[in-house]
A and B are shown apart, each in its own frame.
Chain A
Amino acid sequence: MSEIDDPARLRAIADLDLTRPEVHAELDALASRAAAQLGLPIGLVSIVLDGAQWFPGHHGLTGWLVEVGGTPVEWSFCRNVVEKHAPLQVPDATADARFADNPLVTRDGVRCYLGVPLTTRDGHVVGSLCVIGDKPRETSPEDVAALQELARGMMERLQTRA
């Protein structure tokens, strides 16, 4: 069984009780703050489930991604963050063999990506706080640190309430 399908990790996601409406508003605000801080058009709180990534908080999405509120997990950049327990930086997805054929790149125009793990106190990586742009962009260690700080604060708040 892969980490993505691990029932203990999925239970940790369930314990966060992210379907509460007040949580969505807070996560939307966090996604917006992440995008603004990094100067990119899209920010996402992406929770990686067994078959899909789910966006309980988002900023800057359009079209079907807003209506559906997620994507199949096999298209997920954030899945890599969960599997590696580490930040993922993709300066230009069209030039990266891992992602160049991904429909989110070819169809929806994702070009650059930076995501950091959302980790519970028990060490489960439940998803990623990420920012996305439609132009190539290198990110700095300071960018990663800023996003990690936002992610840590968010997970603390969620677990204190859950």
Chain B
Amino acid sequence: MHTRLVSKGAAYGLSRPTATTARDALARVLGADRADAVFQSACDELGIARTELSVEELAKIARVLAARSGIESVLGVSLQIRCETFLALVGP
């Protein structure tokens, strides 16, 4: 019997959100320098110093951004939905 291997992270075509994909998404709209500063400020606010982040930590960062004003809020909501969809349908 041929067994089809499907990684958990690939369920429903969802890729696991990472710090890199989150920063890249911010950079597409804000530019790389501002994206790094915005992402770092959210990490600082949460006391997160590591670069390897879990999806749950990314979701927390997204919520910090979503609570801000202007375009940072919009980008935060977007990242938050991606992270929470992954957590709801795939898991941590």
Closest chain B residue, CB of each to CB of A6: B29
**Complex: A70 Cα to B74 Cα, angstroms:** 13
Q: Given the interface contacts A19-B73, A50-B78, does A7 sit within 8 Å of B29 by beta carbon? A: yes
**Complex: A50 Cα to B14 Cα, angstroms:** 16
Q: How large is the interface on A (under 10, 10 to 19, 20 to 34, 35 or more residues)?
A: 20 to 34
Q: How large is the interface on B (under 10, 10 to 19, 20 to 34, 35 or more residues)?
A: 20 to 34
Tell me which of B2-10, B41-49, B79-87 binds A: B79-87
Let me know if B85 and A11 touch, CB within 8 A. no
Chain B residues lying within 8 Å of A11, measured Cβ to Cβ, are 70-71
Chain B residues lying within 8 Å of A70, measured Cβ to Cβ, are 77, 81, 85
**With an 8 A cutoff between CB atoms, is B1 at the interface?**
no
Residues of chain B at the chain A interface (Cβ within 8 Å): 12-14, 25, 28-30, 66, 69-71, 73-75, 77-79, 81-82, 84-85, 88-89
